Structure 1
């Protein structure tokens, strides 16, 4: 009998994933684990990244295995969650054998969600370990989507200030082509709007002044620039400048592409670079100076596939995962979600 088509990255052989959620604090983390190791790649394209062990994924570096990717809230504080992941993997005997023991190879990226709930609440060692235990104990259970894990405090559309932003979350999509499988998990905390990659229609983002629809974020930014030199009052000028110069380093979309393809590190890096185009297809504007956009790739090596084919399928999966992050979110922390419109 043919194998059932995966609907979640957790149904790809050798891949485990789960969340730890701090709902009251408005943050959390998401962990994707490959106990047997995967070939890793990464593309860091945003202007304000918070990352761990990305240099190790460069093709010229000698370590060839990646055991886990952590997507976390908490800004730079959230990098501590990856320490909990590494410690839990060590307890399970998972990692690079260095003779005296194992060293788990864990890469991580964080997003800025500190103002959404409790500023002092951020994922740490305990949450990283918890998510790892849940992942390893729940093989095949579909990953939750929406305002959970790294998506708990995600928001989008902040070009007109936090009062007109909307709620986003973590999304997922898995696509297949013959035996090739590519899945994507994305926590979307973008400055811009999330749009349907096929129609270009806004799903969530900067609300209109009356809060009934999503405004065009790019037009808002350009309009503010054009009006800034002609404002009649200091108050109008201040508003225009605020729109032209959004708060720095407060937005990030972080994602992980998982595939069963057999790739080298150089090929996985190229797939990550190709996949990053999904951000431009589904987020407008994207890769701004206020975003820390990062895409990881984990390739389990079970199927032969051309890197370009993997890149095309992965890009499509990531586009749909980004859109899913906006559609799966629910209103929280005083913010509307797409479902509320």
Structure 2
């Protein structure tokens, strides 16, 4: 296992990164349609096909997910991914046509200081197509890549993070997340991550928690003015789940947001989690599914910390510093 979402068999991930734009797109592509759901708990979400993922609605599977920067402009990216899937003959059969099902969530990175002066049409459809064509089951770069390119937190550069885990019952589970939070993933002014209790093998620096918490560590810190907010992610398992159980898994992954970001789910965050089951393994019993929900929380929290830990500052004047810029590189 590489501690990546691609540890789950049947998943490929592709990034398209534009450092001049200060934004990008990440496509998560399933080898075959996956049972899927999702939940938005932030107060300002931006998405495509989120309603389709409601357990009460008819279509149960998706061909791909898309995470993108660009705020509402970024919603063009799913069209690029859909175009690639159509070229490859993928999609839900409907009246003689194949319609690729591609839910998407976006984050707001328009005001991060990079060049957003594009011509008539936004670049996100082309970036979506590029991300789809870059999809690989073996290569995945984190940090300032794909949807994490322009991401920030209140005090540090954000980025694309991932983590994976295995249950005692033998099911695999993994998270992928673009961390663009209004709040902070670190405690106070120091290097310690809120996710520290869940860290495995020093995956985000091994700093643990501070020896003591100060009152100022618990004060509200969040982006002000024109906000660049929203953390968006995906939680996936190889277990066989119903759409309703996939929905519950997405809710549990939101608990990982709350464990890793202080505070999360604010009125101007669009915090959204998609969930999927590749159904490569058996149906988990109630105990095994509860363990999957627990790991959805802790694995998402780890992925969030990794997204910040692996990030590099954007290459323009005044760009927000990265964790490694402030606290050292290995």
Under a length normalisation based on structure 1, what TM-score does the superposition of the two structures give? 0.81
Determine which structure has the larger strand proportion and give its number: 1
Q: Deviations over 1:309-336 (max 9, x none)?
A: 2211121111100000110011224221
Question: How do 1:294-309 residues align onto structure 2 when only pairs under 5 Å count?
Answer: 294-304=272-282, 305=284, 306-309=288-291
Under a length normalisation based on structure 2, what TM-score does the superposition of the two structures give? 0.84
Structure 2 partner of 1:314: 296
Structure 1 partner of 2:232: 254
Structure 2 partner of 1:219: 219
Select the residue among 175, 186, 198 that pairs with 2:177.
Answer: 186
Gaps of 5+ in 1: 158-164, 204-214, 222-242
Q: Work out whether 1:172 is the aligned partner of 2:150.
A: no
How many angstroms apart in 1 are the aligned matches of 2:170 and 2:33? 20
Q: Deviations over 1:244-297 (max 9, x none)?
A: x93366310000112101111110001101110001100001111111100000
State the shift of 1:6 in Å.
4.8
Determine which structure has the larger helix proportion and give its number: 1
Q: Work out whether 1:114 is the aligned partner of 2:110.
A: yes
Q: How many residues align?
A: 294
Query: Looking at CA atoms only, which structure, 1 or 2, has the larger radius of gyration?
Result: 1
Q: Deviations over 1:231-252 (max 9, x none)?
A: xxxxxxxxxxxx7x93366310
Is the contact made by 1:282 and 1:322 (CA closer than 8 Å) also made in structure 2?
yes
State the shift of 1:123 in Å.
4.5
Structure 2 partner of 1:337: 322
Question: How do 1:47-196 residues align onto structure 2 when only pairs under 5 Å count?
Answer: 47-116=43-112, 117-120=114-117, 123-135=123-135, 138=136, 140-157=137-154, 165-177=155-167, 178-195=169-186, 196=193
Gaps of 5+ in 2: 187-192, 205-214
State the shift of 1:98 in Å.
1.6
CA RMSD of aligned residues (A): 2.2
Cα distance change of structure 1 residues 310 and 248 upon mapping to structure 2, 3 Å threshold: farther
How many angstroms apart in 2 are the aligned matches of 1:216 and 1:194? 15
How many angstroms apart in 1 are the aligned matches of 2:80 and 2:69? 14
